[in-house]
Chain A
């Protein structure tokens, strides 16, 4: 068979335009389809009364909650707890993970126990959180800490134990001290994995704060949902859910940006 004549022109401009369209327009189209389906099913009477709110009721609930300032206040309350719990976990988990990863004795002593506590649902700690810290921010922050601390420790340890030996040989040639090896070799070498671990952990923290707020406190997006359910305000429940999901996406986007830092990027480009 004779080959067909062909020609390949540069499609660079068109391709990048396509990428932008698919990144922004496609998700919006999906959202619109879901909204139309919800609306249509509601109007068709597919949902028994009181089980699913009308989309317009949700819009109105958003308007009221924003106007009263409660939605903003609850969002800030939740973010505040996540921030402190997460920062606390980072501060303690990364050094512990480094030690566990680099010292065989510490590893065998601690690793099974870190795994033990990691497997415990953070929700299981809520009774203790309330008894130890009362109500308000502290128990929620404690739950976030518990939910992320063991995870980050484990991820740091795994990354630190897998740093190629060749880097330490070069460091020995350079006569770096043990401290210098830790800060100039181990830490930068595991930074890409740390960024990924933080990204996963912040997602978990955001999920957990909602659960913690349903039990231990009287503010935050989790409390907003429980409070709305108690008042049979399903429109408000959906309003809270949408806010939680949107902020979850935002947090993930924020942490994924960390991968673009030049001295981290090598771990993602290869």
Chain B
């Protein structure tokens, strides 16, 4: 479980987040969507424990892993070694090898196990990030615009893969994006954030099974509602 109560965060002379209340239920996939510069990444830093709130309290049960937009993999390690680094400690060597092979398989990176991140395409790198973070088997997964640096087709495919993987291995997910289409494709619940200081403008529940077709009932409407909320229509 993740909960924020009256959370505020300031940089010197700049209020980034103020009076934010948000609760993420166990196993929920919550998407935060908002304009760029609205404090989405700061919100994830707070949830991940990488920054401390200036005001209010954050409750977090369990460990978390964060997936970043780009550059989170260690460039001096191969794909296999990066994924291995994500595994929780305490496995026997044989078990580790098995787990790594499993994640290489799931993310279709087995062929590239011994290549280095800079030799991979952007999509492959993000799949490797995903494998490393999911391999950790933490309760919470935080994603900071993980597919934003990818091209449209790769991005769409990656979303589907994420959905499929999470269906098999559910966990509490907070996914931050500026991409409205991505938000309605993924979220159980979508929180529309306003510009600085970050506040919740609207919350949408989307009890629609995934993968979602763009024209499925409820999907297009949700997209329109978010556009309206952000003043884009």
Contact = CB atoms under 8 A, between A and B. Distances in A.
A265 B85 CA distance: 20
Nearest to A261: B76
Interface string B102-114: 0000000000000
A262 B68 CA distance: 25
A123 interface: no
Which among A164, A169, A170, A172 has the highest number of chain B CB atoms within 10 Å? A170
Interface string A154-175: 0000000000101101101111
Given A174-B86, A191-B76, A266 B117 contact: yes
Interface residues of A, number: 21
Interface string A259-270: 000111111011
B118 A169 contact: no
A166 B71 contact: yes
B115 to A, nearest CB: 10
B40 interface: no
A189 interface: yes
Nearest to B64: A173
Contacts of B72: 166-167, 169-170
A185 B75 CA distance: 10
Nearest to A264: B76
A236 B72 CA distance: 57
Contact of A172 (B50, B68, B85, B117): B50
B178 interface: no
- Interface of chain A, helix or strand or loop or mixed? helix
Contacts of B48: 169, 173
B65 interface: yes
Contact of A263 (B50, B65, B76, B86): B76
A188 interface: yes
A170 B76 CA distance: 14
Interface residues of B, number: 21
B116 A266 contact: yes
A253 to B, nearest CB: 24
Contacts of A185: 74
A169 B48 CA distance: 9
A270 B118 CA distance: 7
B48 to A, nearest CB: 7
A193 to B, nearest CB: 12
Nearest to B81: A263
A164 B76 contact: no
Contacts of B119: 269
B74 A167 contact: yes
A28 B230 CA distance: 68
Contacts of B77: 188, 263
B66 interface: yes
A166 B68 contact: yes
A191 B66 CA distance: 25
Contact of A266 (B68, B75, B86, B136): B75
Nearest to A175: B63
A128 B177 CA distance: 63
Interface in B36-72: 48-50, 63-66, 68, 71-72
Interface of B: 48-50, 63-66, 68, 71-72, 74-77, 85-86, 116-119, 136
Given A166-B72, A167-B72, A174-B136, 8 more contacts: A166-B68, A169-B68, A172-B50, A173-B65, A175-B63, A264-B76, A266-B76, A269-B119
Interface of A: 164, 166-167, 169-170, 172-175, 185, 188-189, 191, 262-267, 269-270
9 contacts: A164-B71, A167-B74, A170-B72, A172-B50, A173-B48, A173-B63, A173-B136, A185-B74, A264-B76
